[in-house]
Homo-oligomer: A and B are copies of this chain.
């Protein structure tokens, strides 16, 4: 996209050329462009768009821009935009707008659409019903291939997708026909003969993430959505599924970093909201870390007797925390993409224990060599041994805790993502400190009975 050219044309009021230039771009890119220019220019550019492009561009804008635009457009302009939008996008827009804007938008739609909008708005947030599209091609089972093609010719232009055709009778879903099967079947064959009755579908109240995962798993372009009476009410398409999956992954990643997720983007979230999203976990973890502090306090006499012990604590707790969060992260992701299930718990733990032994032995040796070199002037062997045993013990504990907690969370119906680095690190810190001083007291007799 050539921003400079567009800015130049805006400045020189070359509107005819500007219109031609805009035709080269996709709505999602035009929405990004409109974010870069000032309010007056945004309006000029928006009005230069063809009706269909304008409506689609509108769906890609952020809520602030939409509000500005709605304020500036005339009623008839607004009506044109609303007419061209698909119902699921209209609902998305409405959900974000303040009440007075919603009222104006609803006035710009016809009676029939308004009814459909109200139905969709009633589905729970994050449900399949709330993201579905009602513009699909429904066909009767007794229609022939020729009838079906004729029907698509008539109604297809207003449907978001015609890739899959849905065969219904009294609104009950009987089967699906892929457009490829329609076009490659004999003209006289009926839908009933060529349809696939082995249908994958979802309910309006199903979680949108599960529906998106089904679409991904089976490589679908759309999935039919039925209501509680098994009547077909809409479809969820693969492009919406991709966005749902992206949002859910972002949510998981946020939770794994100890940030309460919210729907807005990074810049769309206010400083105050960011602080609020991050403070809850930080406070909880800060207070939990006090426990490690108390454990350290308990071994004060040992530290005073052999102060060098203290200098290895960051290395030990750091390694323990990293080992634990490696394991928890792999298991959390494995659960999310379905590669790991709760019934695999023992296989997971057995695997992590073996990995821990290998990693522990390796790090114990590397660290031992370092100690023998750096502390060669003051009998380094006992220190190297104490640290080696502690590393082995810590890593074994960290990996076991790290892989077990997400599995337990999953079993308890909690989000495994909360069992990630921040929590694991805090838990492992306390364990590491205890292991360390107990091992040290074994190796250094002068630390006992202090």
Complex-state Cα separation, A219 to B429, whole angstroms: 46
Cβ A426 vs Cβ B329 within 8 A = no
Which residue of chain B has its CB nearest to the CB of A154?
B184
Cβ A303 vs Cβ B293 within 8 A = no
When distances are taken between beta carbons in the complex, the residues of chain B under 8 Å from A153 are 183-184
Which residue of chain B has its CB nearest to the CB of A160?
B180
Minimum distance in angstroms from A400 CB to a CB of chain B = 14
Cβ B333 vs Cβ A254 within 8 A = yes
Q: Is A204 an interface residue (CB 8 A)?
A: no
Q: Is A102 an interface residue (CB 8 A)?
A: no
Q: Is A334 an interface residue (CB 8 A)?
A: yes
Q: Is A249 an interface residue (CB 8 A)?
A: yes
Cβ B330 vs Cβ A314 within 8 A = no
Minimum distance in angstroms from A390 CB to a CB of chain B = 12
Q: Is A34 an interface residue (CB 8 A)?
A: no
Cβ B363 vs Cβ A319 within 8 A = no
Cβ A216 vs Cβ B246 within 8 A = yes
Q: Is A290 an interface residue (CB 8 A)?
A: yes
Q: Which of B216, B278, B310 contacts A326 (CB 8 A)?
A: B278
Cβ B179 vs Cβ A282 within 8 A = no
When distances are taken between beta carbons in the complex, the residues of chain B under 8 Å from A265 are 334, 339
Cβ A267 vs Cβ B344 within 8 A = yes
Q: Which of B325, B333, B359, B426 contacts A318 (CB 8 A)?
A: B426
Minimum distance in angstroms from A264 CB to a CB of chain B = 10
Which residue of chain B has its CB nearest to the CB of A162?
B180
Minimum distance in angstroms from A405 CB to a CB of chain B = 14
Q: Which of A227-235, A347-355, A439-447 contacts B (4 or more CB under 8 A)?
A: A347-355
Known A184-B157, A245-B242, A294-B311; judge A259-B329 contact (CB<8 A): yes
Complex-state Cα separation, A166 to B342, whole angstroms: 46
Q: Which of B152, B246, B292, B322 contacts A337 (CB 8 A)?
A: B246
Cβ A180 vs Cβ B161 within 8 A = yes
* Interfacial residues of chain A within 307-327, with CB under 8 A of chain B in the complex: 307-308, 310-315, 317-319, 321-323, 325-326
Q: Is A221 an interface residue (CB 8 A)?
A: yes
Cβ B180 vs Cβ A425 within 8 A = no
Q: Which of A64-72, A74-82, A120-128, A269-277 contacts B (4 or more CB under 8 A)?
A: A269-277
Q: Which of B26, B152, B221, B354 contacts A200 (CB 8 A)?
A: B26
Q: Which of B246, B362, B421 contacts A421 (CB 8 A)?
A: B421
Minimum distance in angstroms from A321 CB to a CB of chain B = 7
Q: Is A340 an interface residue (CB 8 A)?
A: yes
Q: Which of B241, B293, B363, B422 contacts A282 (CB 8 A)?
A: B363
Cβ A318 vs Cβ B286 within 8 A = yes
Q: Is A205 an interface residue (CB 8 A)?
A: no
Minimum distance in angstroms from A340 CB to a CB of chain B = 6
Complex-state Cα separation, A249 to B216, whole angstroms: 15
Cβ A325 vs Cβ B363 within 8 A = no
Cβ B355 vs Cβ A318 within 8 A = no
Complex-state Cα separation, A449 to B436, whole angstroms: 31
Known A286-B315, A311-B296, A322-B281; judge A183-B149 contact (CB<8 A): yes
Q: Which of B26, B257, B334, B433 contacts A329 (CB 8 A)?
A: B257
Q: Is A28 an interface residue (CB 8 A)?
A: yes
Q: Which of B163, B266, B294, B307 contacts A334 (CB 8 A)?
A: B266
When distances are taken between beta carbons in the complex, the residues of chain B under 8 Å from A254 are 329-330, 333
Which residue of chain B has its CB nearest to the CB of A268?
B339
Greatest chain B CB density within 10 A among A23, A245, A286 is at A286
Complex-state Cα separation, A221 to B178, whole angstroms: 14
Known A149-B183, A157-B184, A339-B267; judge A257-B325 contact (CB<8 A): yes
Q: Is A283 an interface residue (CB 8 A)?
A: yes
Enumerate chain A interface residues (CB-CB to B < 8 A). Answer: 23-24, 26, 28, 149, 152-153, 156-157, 159, 161-163, 179-180, 183-184, 198, 200, 216-221, 238-239, 241-243, 245-246, 249-250, 253-254, 256-259, 265-267, 271-272, 274-275, 278-279, 281-283, 285-287, 289-290, 292-294, 296-297, 300, 303-304, 307-308, 310-315, 317-319, 321-323, 325-326, 329-331, 333-334, 337, 339-340, 344, 347-348, 351, 354-355, 358-359, 362-363, 366-367, 370, 421-422, 425-426, 429, 433
